[in-house]
Amino acid sequence: MKPSPRLSLNNGVLIDQLGFGLYKVPPGDAAGLVSMALEAGYRHFDTAAMYGNETGVGRGIGSLSGFSSHDDARGGSGESSPALSREDLFVTTKLWNDDQGYDATLRAFDTSMANLGLEYVDLYLIHWPCAQRGLYSESYRAMETLYREGKARAIGVSNFQPAHLDRLLQTAEVVPAVNQIELHPWLQQEELRTLHRGLGITTEAWSPLGRGQVLQDPVVLDIAAAHGRTAAQVILRWHVQLGNVAIPKASSHDRIGENLDVFDFSLDDVAMQALGGLERGFRTGSHPDSVN
Ligand SMILES: NC(=O)c1ccc[n+]([C@@H]2O[C@H](COP(=O)([O-])OP(=O)(O)OC[C@H]3O[C@@H](n4cnc5c(N)ncnc54)[C@H](OP(=O)(O)O)[C@@H]3O)[C@@H](O)[C@H]2O)c1
């Protein structure tokens, strides 16, 4: 299987365009799933303090290498795989809403690093703007400190609407590398994608499969049949061709492999336009303005 291509973030740090999402993965399953994803070829993992599975994720990514500080991860399950070094991996975690604020962000980061068993994270994101709290600019200032100290190779935001980005950029010294937003064929986020392009912010798609619901769309199924591919592969290929980073979550060996196997075919203009016509303003998750 071809590995994921990498995109360059606005500071030159490379990110695998397809990563593995870990929302709703129970803590006890995280290490095994991450290990399975590593074996399948994933090198980019997306977790968050709120997911409660950072410790398992750290164990999983340490299982094929010697860098994890978790004792039970060192020299773990990867005997049949080549050892990976920390530099081969891209790990994202996120600051939870209750930890916003300058000092609280620094404390929360330390907790996440201890849970992950890592010395640094590749990408640290503000999970939600929580605009009513009025703390995201202060939280981001703490993340700039972590960035300058080399504890986060890149920093960014998640679920930021244009108005939040606009306000953040009035005080930010480091332009966010990423805005991670809900994005799939039923919610295409044209306005934000255009804004990101102009600002040099990479668009990262959460729920890239619409939590599985978009897999039933008849247009997607027709395109899949015409290409001899699955619906999930068509949608993920669509993300890749749009230039999005996407982080599908899956729970079985077959689906984990299937979702990464999208780099040996392409969608022509007709298929891309048909998928582009599926916008319906459908959210699987909360609207960012309603989370506080
Ligand atoms: N920043 C944020 O606020 C935020 C919010 C939500 C999510 N995220 C991130 O985005 C990641 C992905 O989002 P998500 O988990 O909500 O949704 P998703 O990746 O769009 O969809 C996951 C669902 O699709 C199913 N699925 C996956 N691959 C499939 C395949 N090949 N065939 C059939 N079904 C398939 C999965 O089933 P099984 O699991 O049963 O295989 C699961 O039910 C999360 O894990 C998390 O890392 C971030």
Give the residue, out of 161, 209, 252, with the most ligand 1 atoms within 8 A of its beta carbon, to mutate for a pocket test: 209
Which is more confident, 82 or 5? 5
Alpha-carbon gap, residue 116 to 147, rounded angstroms: 18
Decide if 140 is catalytic: no
**Is the model's pLDDT at 246 over the cut of 70?**
yes
Domain spanning 6-209+244-251, CATH class: alpha beta
**Is the model's pLDDT at 245 over the cut of 90?**
yes
User: What's the gap in Å between 209 CA and the centre of ligand 1?
Assistant: 6
Helix (H) or strand (E) holding 8: strand 6-8
- Cβ of 86 below 6 Å from ligand 1: no
Q: Tell me if 184 sits within 8 A of 247, measured CB to CB.
A: no
> How confident is the model at residue 267, as a pLDDT?
98
Helix (H, G, I), strand (E, B) or coil at 89: coil
- Cβ of 37 below 6 Å from ligand 1: no
Give the residue, out of 23, 25, 130, 164, with the most ligand 1 atoms within 8 A of its beta carbon, to mutate for a pocket test: 23
Q: What is the DSSP string of 126-181?
A: ES---GGGT-HHHHHHHHHHHHHTTSBS-EEEES--HHHHHHHHHH-SS--SEEEE
- Cβ of 212 below 6 Å from ligand 1: yes
Residue 103 to residues 139, 140, 142, 278, Cα–Cα distance (Å) = 8, 11, 7, 43
Q: Which residue is closest in CA terms to ligand 1's atom 19?
A: 248
Give per-residue pLDDT as tens, 19-46.
Answer: 999 999 999 999 999 999 999 999 999 9
**Phi and psi, residue 183, nearest 5°:** -160, 125
